[in-house]
Structure 1
Amino acid sequence: MGGVVIGIYEEYDREGHPIKIVDEDKKFGKIKPRDIVEFLEKEGWFNRKTGENKITGEAVLPTTGAFYRILISYMRITYIPQERSQTGRAHWRISINPHSLGYTTIYIVDGETGEFSKEEKYIMKYE
């Protein structure tokens, strides 16, 4: 999801025995990647069932894996763990750059409570 590694990474030896298992999701607080997707959908950026979206130049996208690959190209999603956070709290930073709109929307989502702030920055686009 963006630049955030998610899921379980497994490494096996030649006989098929596990030699390394890393659960990347353990690093997250209460707010997981799935919660971020649901949050963005509730904010009205896209509809996973219909493919409608406000991000790309196309009003409707196919609801396959391509849906997420296309949308993520207009977003930057970063997870900042507690130890790297300036506030001392883990949080998600989401930056969305819609195709045809002249602004960037930035969300900061608290990694434990889900409380968020939203900021829109207007930018000049030259085409």
Structure 2
Amino acid sequence: MGKRDELIAKYADDLKNKCKVTPDMALLTKVTIGCGPSIYDNDAQTVAASDKDELERIKNNFLVKKLGLKDGPELMAGINAAIETYGKSERNKFRAVFYYLLVTHFKKASVYK
């Protein structure tokens, strides 16, 4: 099993156990691949959910640019819903899992087809 496959298995475990979500493995794999090399970087592989600048970057670069959503208050509401689902007390929120939660929240899996 390669490094990416190991990470995808770890992300699936987080979705099942921390988020109480049954992952669509094909979609999770595509979202993980879409994260690029950041999944291998100790700092970039996680989301700093308490950092307002980081959340703005996710909103602008992922939700608006990647998923093609219109900017508005519902985007930050979706980000906050993903934080709640992952658990506020969970320090290590993996970027691929967080993005997966956002993709499913906004029903944008079609972006990854």
| Same fold? TM cut 0.5 | no
Q: Which has the higher contact order (CA 8 A, sep 6+)?
A: 2
TM-score by length of structure 2 reads 0.28
Greater share of strand? 1
TM-score, with length taken from structure 1:
0.26
Q: Rg: which structure is higher?
A: 1
Q: Which has the higher helix share?
A: 2
